[in-house]
Amino acid sequence: MSEQKAKPAGGFDAALKAVRQHLLERGNRFDRGPAYEGDGKVLAGVKQAVRMYEGMGYIKLMEFGNPPIYAVLERGHREMHIFEVHDPRIQAWLASDQAALNDPAMRAYLLQQSGLSEKDVPAADKPRRFHINEVDHVFIVTTEDGD
């Protein structure tokens, strides 16, 4: 992904839309995990997080941005999304321990930001439970091991 070739303008946006559509399938649920603060020394960004998880046996499926701001990995049946948030509203929602992760208003905002509506999002064949953790402003979303 380090090549500097010209890419279609909608490439990144289309990929992000597809990822959000997958995560927001009807029936999926989100739980909050612990946040870890290491003063930027634990995870300096998505690229470092991906290298760390690849060292633990995860396979990188895709990575977006240069430097990367979003990556999808897997190990067995466990799915992992690693990303940085640049939207202040989404950042505040994810950072707040008081915010409900399954908030319908926030769901509507995420859909709107991706150019999606509820009718564009299918029901999950097998609903997933995602856990969201933050490490030094890098968010890690994983499915449970049994999924």
- Helix, strand and coil content of the chain, in percent to the nearest 5, comes to 30, 30, 40
Write the DSSP symbol of residue 85: -
pLDDT tens string 78-116: 999 999 988 999 988 988 888 899 999 999 999 998 889
Q: Is position 28 within any domain?
A: yes
Domain count, the chain: 1
Contact 138, 83 (CB under 8 A): yes
pLDDT tens string 49-81: 999 999 999 999 999 888 999 999 999 999 999
- The boundaries of the domain holding residue 75 are 11-121+128-143
Q: Is position 1 within any domain?
A: no
* Structure tokens, 48: 């470092």
pLDDT tens string 5-14: 334 446 777 8
Q: How confident is the model at residue 3 (pLDDT cuts 50, 70, 90)?
A: very low
- Is residue 2's pLDDT more than 60? no
CB atoms within 10 A of CB 135: 18
Q: Is position 37 within any domain?
A: yes
d(CA 90, CA 107): 10
d(CA 143, CA 74): 10
| pTM metric for this prediction | 0.82
